[in-house]
Amino acid sequence: MKILACAACLFVLAQAQPPAPPAAQSRATVIRAGRLIDPATGTATANQTIVVENGRITAMGANVATPPGAEIIDLSRLSVLPGLVDAHNHLALTYKKDPESDVYYLTYVLDSTALRAIQAVSNGMQMMSAGFTVVRDLGNNGNYADTALRVAIEQGWVPGPTIVNSGIIIGGMGGQFSPTPEMAKDHNIVYPEYLDADTHDEIVKAVRQNILFGAKVIKVCVDCKPYPYTVEDLKTFVAEASNAGLKVAGHVQTKVGALRAIEAGFWSLEHAGPLDDEVHRLMAQKGIWRVGTETPFTTYRGTKDAFDRTVAGMKNAWANGVKMAFSTDADYYIPGMTRGEVVINFLLSWKASGIPAKDVLKIMTTNGYEVCDLASRRGPIKVGFPADMIAVGGNPLEDLDALRTVTFVMKDGLVFKRDGVMTPEKFLHAGPVNGWRIR
């Protein structure tokens, strides 16, 4: 009875409530862009005006009228472009040298989901400050800290990128952990970092659990154990996810796993280790995304040999016409660097690949919106779309290093960073200003 009464109350409440006011101000904002870049075509147009109202772009061009009372933002000495995308990160995971020797199994034991959700908000802001307005977040986020982050951003509590999150990574028994029998069987240590699914029914149930708890993409450990999923298993993931309109991303670490995921019709392959010329040809044929997480060789991470293999793989993928995304797997702490600074330093890999700057810029923006399955509703600077944009000095179509210094960031029409300083006040609210029904 109690439950029924509560449900009825909520229903009445929902009927009686007026629609929530939008988080964005009703006052128009006008942006004067010295150079407006369209990464989809690799072109730039000088002296453009962009009008933003209620969070969306309502007009743009060389000669558009300024609405009365509009706030003018002068970016006439800068290049304005759409926000960047990291197609593979884990914002609610940060493993560290001290105290856990970069072993994330220990991070999971030491850091609660609640702490990791707060960390995710901070990491999200660090990503936004570096110009990333979209992050595809692929698991290892405790008990759905990724959903909490997405919902908090979308409801309007905190600033952050648009999050396309996977919920819990689904895998064969054990996930990516190698627990003792005691920890696995007596203490259930694998969950919630991984969701075991070993049979057809368990796969269906695991996919549905993630969707119920807010996943917007399904992440599968295809071959993390000596008992990789079969093609039939993997097709079950694709069928069940697509029944809810979701795509499937496959972590692959063997060639057998990659070939099976391709045959099963996966949307994207995560990590590039096993992707050779044969695999790349098949991916290009079937239009499967390569989300390669190409780690650069730096003083703080990587080896020369691994980097050489990474760059050779990027060149081969590009030569084969594989669809590529900018992605990092940057889920670790480097003292002195923000999460965004660690991520943008992956430019080192893309520059070494020899892919022209304008194509890399397209990969970091246009391709990113596509691999996130957002392109029809967010990303490009276009009338009717949410006003997400960044500004940099110089011209990133010619020099990618221009992206290292993002001085202006707008998200959903609100200014997050201006003149190189974060200004998050307008994003902070004590309640769900965009509506509590966003889940």
- In the bound complex, what is the minimum distance in angstroms from residue 175's beta carbon to Zn ion? 12
Nearer to Zn ion, 53 or 86 (CB): 86
**Residue of this chain nearest to Zn ion (CB atom):** 329
Which residue, 271 or 378, has its beta carbon nearer to Zn ion?
A: 271
Q: Tell me whether residue 44 or residue 218 sits nearer to Zn ion (CB atom).
A: 218
Least gap, CB of 134 to Zn ion (angstroms): 16
Closer residue to Zn ion (CB): 223 or 329: 329
CB 177 to Zn ion: min, Å: 14
Least gap, CB of 86 to Zn ion (angstroms)? 11
Q: By CB neighbour count within 10 A (0-12 exposed, 13-18 middle, 19+ buried), where does 57 fall?
A: buried
Residue closer to Zn ion by CB (options 294, 329) is 329
Residue closer to Zn ion by CB (options 48, 176) is: 176
- Quick one: which of 391, 410, 411 has its CA closest to 402? 391
Report the nearest approach of Zn ion to the CB of residue 138 (Å).
5
Q: Which residues make up the interface to Zn ion (CB under 5 A)?
A: 329
To Zn ion, the closest distance from the beta carbon of 290 in angstroms equals 14
- State in angstroms the smallest separation of the CB of 331 from Zn ion: 7
CB of 219 to Zn ion, least distance (A): 8
Query: Measured from the CB atom, is 166 or 316 closer to Zn ion?
Result: 166
Identify residue 247 by its one-letter amino acid code. K
Q: How far is the CB of 328 from Zn ion (least distance, A)?
A: 9
Q: Which is nearer to Zn ion, 221 or 414 (CB)?
A: 221
CB closer to Zn ion, 141 vs 143:
141
* Contacts (Cβ under 8 Å, ≥6 apart) of 219: 138, 139, 166, 167, 169, 170, 248, 249, 250, 251, 270
